[in-house]
Structure 1
Amino acid sequence: MKKPLVGAFLATLLLGAGAAPAFAATSPDAAPVGTRAPESVAAQAVDFAGTVALSNCSGSVVRTAASQPNDPALVMSNGHCLETGFPAAGQVIVNRASSRTFSLLNGAAQKVGTLRASKIAYGTMTDTDVALYQLTSTYAQIQTQYGIRALELSAARPAQGTPITVVSGYWKRTYSCNIDGFAYRLKEGAWTWKDSVRYTSACNTIGGTSGSPVLDTGTGKVVAVNNTGNESGGRCTDNNPCEVDEAGRTTVRRGINYGQQTYQMVPCIVAGSRIDLTRPGCGLPKP
């Protein structure tokens, strides 16, 4: 996983800055706040509006096309960013009380307010690495008070070659690249994820970008949630995921980063921002 920042910071203190590369605050591949992309319809679709900073990770306020203004808003991040710690392999968390807070950003990456959770609506590191927090605010309240509209989750599986942007609310940085392909299985330590998005090398994400929305740069819709990368060439170990194909062959891609697709959870989100794991088409694992 892209280390939550508390762990990365402790590693830096104990081992020295060179021993925790995932904690680096800057990256030559990251676009600083204020850097303008070439003028185009595609580039104009992506900014920081709707992203959030957690205490240790990144995230975003998300909705489906069917979400209603008075539904409680949802914040998406990674399962490994939960304040309760990493879920065990096979563990699924549903409707657990939470009062976690999130710093809401506008398009210019400025904090405009603080949002608060009422519960962890869903969280897991099995098959995918995602957390959905239900907030005490509705989508309409957030839009009225802060002028921020939630990011829309795409209901379609993304395609290889799609230009994408990883938008980190924690670092207030973006990473632009393309979808290089998909890993049939991605194994990291005790966890296995299915059909993961593999980025081209330009998305050199770092610790703290965990939970960032991965946007289709052309549409501005969310197609994945950023979660991990192979840091040092290790084989299927923590912070060094490996790819396993359908024939069981293992491939290690040092320096390459990954996200987990989100289209499969769109059918799971029903009226009132409830998570219904029994709904037809819902691809999230059940408890």
Structure 2
Amino acid sequence: MKRPLVGVLAALLLGGAALTGTGAASASATSRDAAPAHTAKAAVTVNFAGTVALSNCSGSVVKMPTSVPTDPAIVMSNGHCLSGGFLDPGESIVNVASSRTFSLLNAAGTKVATLRATKVAYATMTDTDISLYQLNTTYAQIQSSYGIAALELSATHPVAGTAIKVVSGYWKRIYSCNIDAFVYRLHEDSWIWKDSVRYTPSCNTIGGTSGSPVVDVATGKVVAINNTGNEDGGRCTLDNPCEVDQNGNITVHQGINYAEETYLITQCVGAGNKINLSLPGCTLPKP
């Protein structure tokens, strides 16, 4: 996992291998691997506007396709970036009070404001690796005060071959590559993630990039969240995730990095940006 840069999380977020990587295609990816690279489209401008820096990770202010300007804004990062440490496999949390702060960046990567959470609306490291913080400000207030709009989560599954950018608010660095393939199961230590995104090698993300939004350059929408990579060539260990296919075959790609899809989040957020795990189609793990 691309762990936090301090304390126990430093071991977990800085260990670039787990939760971030670089690599080649493997037998453990799904059939979507065969999708060809897209024909070039007019790309949108991807910069740091709307991204945030946490104390140990990266993140972004995000909105759902159904969000409205008066909704309380949401900051998205990894579940392993929680200030309290890693969640156990099978553990999810909903609506836990939090006053965590985030440095909001403008297009140039300059801090323009400190945003504050009221709660962790949802977090898990099971099946995926996400944390969603509800803020004490609305999208409209952020837009009015700082001229910065939230990044929108795509409501559809990403496509192999898509040109993407991984935008790290922590390091103020943007990585460019493509979606290489989708991994049936990604195992790291005791955590298992489903249908993970594998990058092509040029997205050689490092510790502290955990939680960075993965942006489709053709649409400007967020399709995944950066979370790990295989640092040392280890097999299914911390900072050394392995790919497992439907038949249980294990493949290791040293230096390859990964992300978790975010379209699933849009199916679990109702009116007022409230997490509702009972919505039809919502498959996020429940507490």
* Separation in structure 1 between the aligned mates of residue 217 and residue 232 of structure 2, nearest angstrom: 29
Q: CA deviation at 1:3?
A: 2.0
TM-score of the aligned structures, taking structure 2 as reference length: 0.89
Q: CA deviation at 1:10?
A: 6.5
Say what the alpha-carbon RMSD is for the aligned residues. Answer: 1.6
* Separation in structure 2 between the aligned mates of residue 10 and residue 191 of structure 1, nearest angstrom: 18
* Separation in structure 1 between the aligned mates of residue 137 and residue 3 of structure 2, nearest angstrom: 29
* Separation in structure 2 between the aligned mates of residue 283 and residue 50 of structure 1, nearest angstrom: 27
| Equivalent in the alignment of 1:27 | none
* Separation in structure 2 between the aligned mates of residue 225 and residue 163 of structure 1, nearest angstrom: 15
Q: Which runs of 5+ in 1 are unaligned?
A: 12-19, 24-39
% identity of equivalent residues: 68
Q: CA deviation at 1:22?
A: 3.7
* Separation in structure 1 between the aligned mates of residue 247 and residue 217 of structure 2, nearest angstrom: 33
| Equivalent in the alignment of 2:241 | 241
Which protein has greater RCO, CA pairs closer than 8 Å, 6+ apart?
2
Q: CA deviation at 1:7?
A: 4.2
TM-score of the aligned structures, taking structure 1 as reference length: 0.89
Q: CA deviation at 1:8?
A: 8.3
Matched, 1:187 2:187: yes
| Equivalent in the alignment of 2:71 | 71
SS state at 1:69 partner:
coil
* Separation in structure 2 between the aligned mates of residue 87 and residue 144 of structure 1, nearest angstrom: 36
Q: CA deviation at 1:269?
A: 1.1
Letter in 2 for 1:212: S
Q: CA deviation at 1:283?
A: 2.3
* Separation in structure 2 between the aligned mates of residue 47 and residue 280 of structure 1, nearest angstrom: 34
Q: Which runs of 5+ in 2 are unaligned?
A: 18-40
* Separation in structure 1 between the aligned mates of residue 194 and residue 256 of structure 2, nearest angstrom: 17
* Separation in structure 2 between the aligned mates of residue 220 and residue 271 of structure 1, nearest angstrom: 23
| Equivalent in the alignment of 2:276 | 276
Q: CA deviation at 1:41?
A: 3.3
What are the Cα deviations for residues 70-121 of structure 1, in whole angstroms up to 9, with x where unaligned?
1000000000000111000000010000000000001111111000000000
| Equivalent in the alignment of 2:207 | 207
After TM superposition, the structure 1 = structure 2 runs for residues 62-141 of structure 1, keeping only pairs within 5 Å, are 62-141=62-141
Letter in 2 for 1:110: T
* Separation in structure 2 between the aligned mates of residue 200 and residue 265 of structure 1, nearest angstrom: 24
Q: How many residues align?
A: 262
* Separation in structure 1 between the aligned mates of residue 77 and residue 103 of structure 2, nearest angstrom: 13
What are the Cα deviations for residues 24-75 of structure 1, in whole angstroms up to 9, with x where unaligned?
xxxxxxxxxxxxxxxx831x43111100000000000000121011100000
- Contact 1:229 / 1:240 at 8 angstroms: preserved in 2? yes
- Contact 1:45 / 1:219 at 8 angstroms: preserved in 2? no
SS state at 1:41 partner:
coil
| Equivalent in the alignment of 2:158 | 158
After TM superposition, the structure 1 = structure 2 runs for residues 167-178 of structure 1, keeping only pairs within 5 Å, are 167-178=167-178
